[in-house]
Amino acid sequence: MPALLTHRGTVYSWHCDHLGHMNNMWYAAKFDEASWNLVTQIGFTPSHLREANCGLATVEQVTTFKQELLAGDCLEVWTELVEVRDRVMRLRHAMHNVETGDLCATCAITAVHIDLAQRRSTPIPELQRRMALDVLSEAVSAAA
């Protein structure tokens, strides 16, 4: 899938730790916001999640830090949907410094579709599965 812009933000001074750069908890928060923007684009809207009493639970998240972000830096997160299975989706985020274009961090996430009442994984609904697979097929077409 061509990467989608899923988050734009700014590093504020309160995002920075005693070393002067954005603390890892804020990277996680910005990647989380990007994740919700992506899944909304494939049909997991807030209203759908509430009405269906379902959710997406991150079961693995690997963040790699490439370059520090400092107070005042503007950033963007671009996201690719990597894989869609019966109950699982994998995605990859890339965070860039807007001014320099430098890659600052990446985050690979594996998420499982869950039934909130049963507290267990369930198949991804057909509509959202088709929307996600359409996004993936765009990637294959773009790569060809």
Coil, helix or strand at residue 72: coil
Residue by residue, pLDDT tens for the chain (144 residues) are 578 999 999 999 999 999 999 999 999 999 999 999 999 999 999 999 999 999 999 999 999 999 999 999 999 999 999 999 999 999 999 999 999 999 999 999 999 999 999 999 999 999 999 999 988 877 656 655
- C-alpha–C-alpha distance, residues 69 and 71, integer Å: 7
Instruction: Report DSSP state, residue 87.
Output: S
Output the pTM of the full model.
0.92
Q: Please report, for the chain, the start and end positions of each structural domain, with discontinuous segments joined by +.
A: 4-136
Question: What is the CATH code of the structural domain delimited by 4-136?
Answer: 3.10.129.10
Answer for the pair 106, 92: CB distance below 8 angstroms, yes or no: yes
CA distances 45 to 34, 36, 49, 66, 67, Å, are 13, 9, 6, 31, 32
